[in-house]
Amino acid sequence: MRPVPTDSFSPKNRRSRPARTFARKLLPFSGIAVLVVLWDLALSVGGGPKLLPRPLAVIRAIGELGERGFLVKHVVASLFRVTWGYVAAVLVGVPLGIVLGWYRRGGMALAPLLEILRPISPLAWIPLAILWFGVGDVSAVFIIFLASLFPLTLTAMHAVRGVELVHVNAGLNFGLRAPELLRRVIYPAILPQLLVGLRLSLGIAWLVVVAAEMIAVSSGLGFLIIDARNAGNRYDLVVAGMVLIGVIGIALDAMMRSLERSKALAWGYTPAADADQPRVERRDTARASALP
């Protein structure tokens, strides 16, 4: 009689597992693929007036941008503005939010002002930005700065207010006072929430840069879109710009998410902690039974 193979070594499982993971990796792209096919089908069947360029035309347009060096130029221009505006907002907003969260009175005095400014679309600031800084990079950077500043400051402030009292008390008990307490207890305690806030506000910054570039400057992906339309109704270039914006946006988001997954921060996100649970439970029972 032949030995019965155990589950994990059965040839059937060995073949199906990579196939399954492959299928799972393809799944996120299936929606995009279906959309592209439907998009192309609708345009070739519908006939009528062209309301959209065909997918292939968009791909060719991206290729054209690449060949003429515009791709790198516009992407770099947009990323440059986002980086400066966003970094400035982080440097101002995070410390400001921490201080406002910690010193209740400061928070009470300034929070209403921030809450009023926050719902104003950053785009509403464009006329003032142009008045103050002229047409150019500074205006665009300023708009992005404002767009990220309010959500960042408020996230940091609310996160500080939510820090567990036991952790603050433990810090106080070990002799820490304001600056050290903020650095060694408050800051690490809010980091998981802060990273979520950083990711969301980077998303906002990326949304806003496109709009700012349509009005205030003459480079970047936003400018590409508006210029392609104005200069000759090149809607293939317009959609190419949109696709690029989407792809870069998702890449920025993935970058921020990878920060959130660091081990030291796993405590802030419960799903990430699950993977370790069974292994450690087992180790602990071994430990407990070894005790006299």
* Binding-site ranges for other proteins (CB under 8 A): 164, 166-167, 169-170, 172-175, 184-185, 188-189, 191, 263-268, 273, 276-277, 280-281, 284, 287-288, 291
Closer to other proteins by CB, 14 or 283: give it.
283
CA distances to 37, 163, 184, 195, 272 from 269, in Å: 38, 15, 20, 11, 6
Closer to other proteins by CB, 50 or 283: give it.
283
For the CB of residue 171, give the shortest distance to other proteins in the complex, in Å.
8
Closer to other proteins by CB, 115 or 281: give it.
281
Closer to other proteins by CB, 192 or 241: give it.
192
Helix boundaries (H) for 217-234? 221-230
For the CB of residue 99, give the shortest distance to other proteins in the complex, in Å.
20
Write out the E strands in 66-131.
Answer: none
| C-alpha neighbours within 13 Å on the C-beta side of residue 29 | 6
Q: Are the beta carbons of 205 and 248 closer than 8 angstroms? A: no
For the CB of residue 105, give the shortest distance to other proteins in the complex, in Å.
20
Closer to other proteins by CB, 17 or 104: give it.
104
How far, in Å, CA of 204 to CA of 208, rounded? 6
For the CB of residue 280, give the shortest distance to other proteins in the complex, in Å.
5
Closer to other proteins by CB, 128 or 273: give it.
273
End-to-end CA distance of the chain: 48
Q: Which two tokens stand for residue 239?
A: 């959609």
User: Which amino acid belongs to residue 90?
Assistant: V
For the CB of residue 271, give the shortest distance to other proteins in the complex, in Å.
12
For the CB of residue 108, give the shortest distance to other proteins in the complex, in Å.
20
How far, in Å, CA of 14 to CA of 162, rounded? 48
Cβ within 8 Å of residue 123, ≥6 positions away: 143, 208, 211, 212
The closest alpha carbon to 101, from 88, 89, 85, 114, belongs to 114
For the CB of residue 175, give the shortest distance to other proteins in the complex, in Å.
4
* Cα torsion through 95, 248, 255, 27, rounded to 10: 140
CA distances to 92, 101, 146 from 191, in Å: 16, 14, 22
Closer to other proteins by CB, 116 or 273: give it.
273
For the CB of residue 285, give the shortest distance to other proteins in the complex, in Å.
9
Closer to other proteins by CB, 24 or 287: give it.
287
Q: What secondary structure letter does DSSP report for 10?
A: -
